[in-house]
Amino acid sequence: MLSVTQGALGLASGALVGFSLGLIGGGGSILAVPLMVYVVGVSEPHVAIGTSAIAVAANAAINLSNHARGGTVVWSCALPFAVAGIVGAFFGSLLGKMIDGHKLLALFALVMLVIAALMLKNRARVGIPDVKMDWSNMPAIVGHGLVTGTVSGFFGIGGGFLIVPALMLATGMPIMNAVSSSLVAVTAFGLTTAASYAWSGLVSWWLAALFVAGGIAGGLIGTRSAKSLSERHGALNVVFAIVIIAVAIYMLVRNLSLSWT
């Protein structure tokens, strides 16, 4: 059972997660997992991963509705990407539960640093605003969805930090559309991973509910901020990369120090 302090910290952490999802379509689990472990005090990394998957999926769905009202979701690309990813997320989550939780978090941090570097390299890229799925890009959309889903399930994450660059690479869409469209897959991947962890009893339901409650308010603020930043050339890409780098370094330091103790 959570203490009052843990409950308050869970609510505040959920608001931060919701803000990140609304702003850059990612950061849900990459923030939720370390917040649950290092701030709220969840001692078992796999429970933190399973709980975050549920919380992030719910918050992503709420933020998706906010972006959809703004007309920035490219449904024709987002839906097949998500469907392909669900298959990968299921098998990836089975593999992830077989590996030590702290090693899993450290490995994930390294992957995030690589993605951040790629986002900074391509920050000046404008993208194709009216992109849609056709026979020319369908293999890329499905293939990237499958690979991204597998990685997301393996690391126990909603996958926004992977999905946004994957959608941009597969379709050429601008980052604002990728951020909005990624939330379809984040929701789907998160639910798939959460189901696998819940089946194994690796979920704290009370904590998940608090994260969702806090995420509603944070998501509204994040969505409005994303629209503002998208109007400045390359600004959203830079913010996206900076958040990844900061959290990845923190996760590496924490998990490498644990491996030496």
pLDDT tens, position by position, 5-37? 877 888 888 888 888 878 777 667 667 877 888
Q: What is the pLDDT of residue 81?
A: 93
The whole-number pLDDT of residue 79 equals: 92
pLDDT over 90 percentage in the chain: 4
Q: Taking 70 as the threshold, does the pLDDT of residue 124 lie above it?
A: no
- What residues make up the domain containing 31? 4-259
Can you give the pLDDT at residue 217? 85
What pLDDT does residue 127 have? 59
Pairwise CA distance, residues 81 & 199, whole Å: 25
Closest residue by Cα to residue 231 from 26, 70, 95, 75: 70
pLDDT at 254 over 80: no
Range with the poorest average pLDDT among 55-64, 148-157, 182-191: 148-157
Look at residue 257 and tell me whether its pLDDT is greater than 90.
Answer: no
Query: How far is the C-alpha of 233 from the C-alpha of 171, rounded, in Å?
Result: 19
pLDDT by residue (tens digit) across 25-78?
766 766 787 788 888 888 787 888 888 888 888 888 888 888 888 888 999 999
How many other CB atoms sit within 10 Å of the CB of residue 108?
A: 24
The separation between the first and the last C-alpha atoms of the chain, rounded to the nearest angstrom, is 28
Number of domains in the chain: 1
